Amino acid sequence: MSSGDAQVAVDPNGVVTAVWSQGGNIWANRYTPGVGWGSAEPIGDIGSFPQVVVDPDAYVTAVWAGQFNRYTPGLGWAVPRPSPTGFAPQVAVEANGHVTAVWSQGGNIWSSRFE
């Protein structure tokens, strides 16, 4: 199987979260300094071109076409949820942890906010 579209984000503690598409699914893995990489796990059952951001409290949000998922420190990844995002969204996080995704669809620019 091939994989691609890898993106990474680093939290304030230096923990790296990588997300990528592989076999039509979205996967994630986390690197903790002094420990190393964990085990890769699927975080979405369909998708490609994921984007990932991390907020100042180390919550991670991954967004891709039509879905998103959130990593909560100490709990792990949630169940992926639908989102209105179209193909290949871009994502940014504010200092307060709010995440905004933007994408183009039908000749228009759209956005969605995740709190």
Higher pLDDT: 73 or 2? It is 73
Q: State the Cα–Cα distance between residues 88 and 102, nearest whole angstrom.
A: 9
Left, alpha or beta for 13 (phi > 0: left; psi -120 to 50: alpha)? alpha
Write phi, then psi, for 72 (nearest 5 degrees): -105, 125
The token pair at 93 is: 């996080």
pLDDT band at 104 (very low <50, low <70, confident <90, very high): confident
* Domain boundary assignment for the chain: 3-114
pLDDT in tens, 20-66: 999 889 999 999 999 999 999 999 988 888 999 999 999 999 999 88
Which CATH number is 3-114's, of 3.40.640.10, 3.40.50.150, 2.40.50.140, 2.120.10.30? 2.120.10.30
One-letter-per-residue 3-state SS of 36-73: EECCCEEEECCCCCCEEEECCCCCEEEEECCEEEEEEC
CB atoms within 10 A of CB 45: 10
Residue with tokens 């949000």: 61
Q: What is the CA radius of gyration of the chain?
A: 14
* Average per-residue pLDDT for the chain: 91
pTM comes to 0.90
**How much of the chain, in percent, has pLDDT values that exceed 70?**
97
